[in-house]
Amino acid sequence: MATALRYLEPGEVRAWRPAGAAHIRVEIAGDRTILTALLKRAFPLSEPLQLLSIQDGAGKEVGILRTMEGLDPQTREVFDAQLDRRYFTPRIERIESLRQEAGMWKFGVVTQRGATEFYVRNWRDSATEIQPNRWHITSADGGRFEIPNLEGLDAESRRLMDQLL
C-alpha cells in the first residue's frame, strides 16, 4: 500500500544535535521527534535547498521539507552541516597527472581541500557530464568528485582530460 507524500513547512521543523551524539534529532511540531534522523536531498544537483527528505533511522520517510528558506537559525545550521557531510564532493581545480595503472585510471588532482589521488575503474560508468562542461566523477572506492567547468581548467588539465573524452 502506497502512502501519500507529507510535505513539511520550515516553521514545523526543528533540529538539533545532542552533545556527543552521532545523529541529529528532528522535531515535527504537533507530531513527533525523530531521535535518529536522516536528511537527504531529492534533487542534490539541481535543487540542493529544496525538497529535503526527512527520514527516521530505518530510512523510512517521515516527510519532505519543501525548502530550507525560513528555518530557524539553529535548525538551518544543523541541516547545512548534515547535508555538507552527506554530499561532500571535492571540486577539482587542476589535474596534475592522469595515467592508466592496473586497468584503472589514476588521477592526481588538486581540489579546494588540497591535493589528492584517486582511481577510476571504468570511465564511461564512473563519469557523467551533468551539464555542459560540468562533470561528476565517482572513484573506485565510492568517493565523489566534480569538475564544475571543464573549459575553465588550465590547458594542461584539459589536455590530460582529452585522453578520456
The pLDDT of residue 47 is 87
SS3 of residue 37 by DSSP: strand
Contacts for 118 with CB less than 8 Å, ≥ 6 apart = 106, 107, 109, 139, 140, 141, 143, 145
Nearest to 26 by CA among 88, 68, 85, 78: 78
Burial class (CB within 10 angstroms; exposed 0-12, middle 13-18, buried 19+) of 134: middle
Nearest to 94 by CA among 108, 107, 112, 109: 109
Q: Confirm if 36 and 57 have CB atoms less than 8 A apart.
A: yes
pLDDT in tens, the chain (165 residues): 556 789 999 999 999 999 988 899 999 999 999 999 999 999 887 888 899 999 999 999 999 999 999 999 999 999 999 998 888 899 999 999 999 998 999 999 999 999 999 999 999 999 999 999 999 999 999 889 999 999 999 999 999 999 998
Quote the CA–CA distance of 54 and 64 in Å, as a whole number: 6
- All three cell numbers of 65, joined, read 521539507
- All three cell numbers of 84, joined, read 555538507
Q: How far is residue 66 CA from its own chain's centroid?
A: 18
